[in-house]
């Protein structure tokens, strides 16, 4: 069954603006990861946040985790055209498999 659910499903913003995507999950986790997929390419790992962390930064990315609400957010600041992609959250399931949401499609308009 689906563990992570991202919202919005699609997001279109102007270049330079900030983009925020959210992810909700159902069961307790050890960590949560965010991946990016550019069109026609593979998934690329962006950032991992552990269950005992509340916020993490990597370059223009900021991830928050609220385990009480079973939710996470990914903020991309000062968006660029190259940020156009689909973004997925993934949580750890049983036997170390990842459980994924349906993704948020982000479009950065020039």
Partner 1 sequence: EAGVTQFPSHSVIEKGQTVTLRCDPISGHDNLYWYRRVMGKEIKFLLHFVKESKQDESGMPNNRFLAERTGGTYSTLKVQPAELEDSGVYFCASSQMSGRYDEKLFFGSGTQLSVL
Residues near partner 1, by CB under 8 A: 2, 4, 30-31, 33, 35, 40-45, 48, 50, 88, 90, 92-93, 95-103
CA dihedral 2, 36, 53, 56 (to 10 degrees): -160
- Give min distance, CB of 44 to partner 1, in A: 7
Instruction: Give least dist CB 1 to partner 1, A.
Output: 10
The three-point CA angle 51-21-63 to 5° equals: 35
Q: How far is the CB of 19 from partner 1 (least distance, A)?
A: 20
What's the maximum distance between 2 C-alpha atoms anywhere in the chain? 43
83 by DSSP, 3-state: which?
helix
Choose between 15 and 107: whose C-beta lies nearer to partner 1. Answer: 107
């Amino acid at each position: 069954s689906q563990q992570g659910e991202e919202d919005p499903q699609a997001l279109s913003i102007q270049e330079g603006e900030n983009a925020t995507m959210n992810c909700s999950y159902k069961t307790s986790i050890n960590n949560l990861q965010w991946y990016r997929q550019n069109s026609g390419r593979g998934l690329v790992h962006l950032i991992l946040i552990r269950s005992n962390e509340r916020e993490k930064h990597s370059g223009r990315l900021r991830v928050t985790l609220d385990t009480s609400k079973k939710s996470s957010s990914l903020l991309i600041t000062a968006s660029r055209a190259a940020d156009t992609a689909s973004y997925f959250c993934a949580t750890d399931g049983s036997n170390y498999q990842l459980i994924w949401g349906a993704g948020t499609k982000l479009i950065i308009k020039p």
